[in-house]
Amino acid sequence: MPLPTAGQSRHNQAAIEAESISNDVAWLPQIWRTYWRVLWQVADDVYDGLHDYLTRSLYLIQKPGEPDTAYTLRLIASSLDNHYRDAVDFYAGLLSQFEPTDDIPEALSALFDNIDGAGNDLQVALMMADKEILKKDSCLLFIDPGEGVENEAPRLRIISLSEIYSPIVEKQGDKYVMSQLCIHRKVQKRDGDYGVKDVDQYWMYRAGEVIVFERFEKKDAQGKDAILEVERRPLLKADGMPLMQAPAVWYSCGGGVPLHPETPPFHRLLEISLKQMNKVSELDDAEGKVNTITPYRLWPDDVPQPLPPLRLGANAVADMGQAGQGAKIGMLEATGNAIELTHKRNQDRVEQMKELSRSFIGGRSTLTATEANQNDSRSKVNLQLVANQKESTVQELFRLMMQFIDPNFKPEEFLGGIKISDEALRAPVNAQDIKGIQDGYLTGCYSRNYMLQKLKEVGFQPDSIDFEEELNTIDGVVA
């Protein structure tokens, strides 16, 4: 995975710090390789837009021999054309076009308007999860059972993979479940009479119990901060029986085995976005130098000493020796024949980023009919696969939540979930599609009924239109 050299130092340092945390106690290993931790950090940084100069400096490469002052000015002037964020937001929006099924228990649907306890409804909370998997392939949908208060409703939390430690996955029947999970949390506690300080806590969830560990600044025998158990409580379902797993569901783009993330779907788009930012910055810098006009004063061989002062406005003058008589004033303008080629390459990268964004659902650019059909088929499968995975994962999420809500709940009988809109999963229709369908009808290749059905299939006519009623209406008008 090619990454900017400047960015690796901070990310490697973050990995070292994470590993130092994991070495404090034997049960707290950081399971993710540096590769994944760096990839996820880069995804977050690029998605956020690299707006602050410090973060941008990790990805805008300083050229060999480039003075620090020149690099700083170029850093300030640079910006990221964020096709990556646009793609993530767009497809997360498509996946968020869903409705809960009719067989959702009322006790569960009552939580949908504030599913996470922070005011976000089910659609918004799951959209955050969709963005997480589009950036990093996977995340955890975690059911927070609360602080043990009676009648406290369970809440949904979206947990990034970089926040979890010591997970254990076991296969139970035909599915995988989290039998153990530790989550890192930052909590605020009083510091003296009026102060507040952030404290690191590690919440361990496993069969039937929750154990809370806290980091203390006092040093242990090895000179490290001490991490001590501060609380232990049972992890109980609504019927009073222990929950024999961690209350979390693995959510991923491809539905792979938990704890084995894959390369995210827009990783290539992310890499090209960073490359484009660097190349555009270099091009702008080169254009500024090439397009700067320098006035000059052309002298005969015997240049007078000292030179007579001469300035044109705020511009300095370059004196040049020249055989012959007389002197003249002119302008030096460098030629930049490579600039045009660089512009062309940058435009090609922009089109490549757009194509990568469109290809996940089947958007077209200027392709042959065969290429367009191949792209549409492949990319429609991509989005459909994620949609199917979301429906399946959310059903498992609801099944887990109900165990904290209803003491009489029977998981094996639960079929509730969500249904993602078919219209959202269709490739966008364009004029070329409509013309092809119309030409087929006009040339007698297929009937009017078939033409109207195809228009509905490609999304030109919404699903809400009754096909038979539309035909009857047309027949009535024609008659």
The answer to whether residue 437 sits within a structural domain is yes
Mean pLDDT score, 313-341:
54
Percent of the chain scoring above 90 in pLDDT: 28
Q: Angle at CA 33, nearest 5°, toward 35 and 40?
A: 50
Q: Which helix (H) or strand (E) holds 171?
A: strand 164-172
Output the pLDDT for position 4: 37
Mean pLDDT score, 274-297:
75
Output the pLDDT for position 168: 86
- Confidence tier at 47 by pLDDT (50, 70, 90): very high
How many domains does the chain contain in total?
Answer: 2
Distance in angstroms (rounded) separating the CA atoms of residues 229 and 232 = 8
36 or 446, higher pLDDT? 36
Phi-psi region of 20 (alpha: psi -120 to 50; beta: other; left: phi over 0): alpha
What confidence tens digit (pLDDT) does each residue in 136-170 have? 999 999 999 876 556 678 999 999 988 888 888 88
- Last-in-domain residue among 275, 309, 332: 332
- Which of 26, 52, 387 is CA-nearest to residue 213? 26
What confidence tens digit (pLDDT) does each residue in 209-255 have? 999 998 887 665 666 677 888 999 999 999 999 999 999 999 998 77
The answer to whether residue 456 sits within a structural domain is yes
Output the pLDDT for position 474: 64
- Confidence tier at 14 by pLDDT (50, 70, 90): very low
Which segment of 88-92, 316-320, 344-348, 462-466 scores lowest on mean pLDDT?
316-320
Output the pLDDT for position 288: 66
Distance in angstroms (rounded) separating the CA atoms of residues 201 and 210 = 13
User: Six-digit token pair at 164?
Assistant: 């979890």
How would you label 390-414 residue by residue, b for 16+ Cβ within 10 Å and e otherwise?
bbebbbbbbbbbbbbbbeebeeeeb
The answer to whether residue 6 sits within a structural domain is no
What confidence tens digit (pLDDT) does each residue in 369-389 have? 433 333 433 344 478 888 999
CB 195 within 8 A of CB 174: no
- Last-in-domain residue among 309, 332, 355: 332
* Residue 59 confidence (pLDDT) above 70: yes
The answer to whether residue 317 sits within a structural domain is yes
> What does the radius of gyration of the chain's CA atoms come to, in whole angstroms?
31
Distance in angstroms (rounded) separating the CA atoms of residues 115 and 104 = 14
The pair phi, psi for residue 26, each rounded to 5°, is -65, -30
25 or 112, higher pLDDT? 112
The answer to whether residue 479 sits within a structural domain is yes
Question: Domain of 308?
Answer: 294-332
Which segment of 100-114, 162-176, 460-474 scores lowest on mean pLDDT?
460-474
- Last-in-domain residue among 310, 332, 354: 332
- Confidence tier at 5 by pLDDT (50, 70, 90): very low
Predicted model pTM:
0.72
- Confidence tier at 171 by pLDDT (50, 70, 90): confident
The answer to whether residue 318 sits within a structural domain is yes
Mean pLDDT score, 435-459:
69
Q: Angle at CA 473, nearest 5°, toward 470 and 479?
A: 140
Peptide bond into 306 cis (omega under 30): yes
Output the pLDDT for position 413: 87
User: Six-digit token pair at 390?
Assistant: 């979301």
353 or 106, higher pLDDT? 106
Distance in angstroms (rounded) separating the CA atoms of residues 453 and 413 = 37
- Confidence tier at 323 by pLDDT (50, 70, 90): very low
Which segment of 186-200, 263-277, 335-349 scores lowest on mean pLDDT?
335-349
Distance in angstroms (rounded) separating the CA atoms of residues 472 and 338 = 63
The answer to whether residue 409 sits within a structural domain is no
- Confidence tier at 285 by pLDDT (50, 70, 90): confident
The answer to whether residue 433 sits within a structural domain is yes
360 or 204, higher pLDDT? 204
Output the pLDDT for position 250: 93
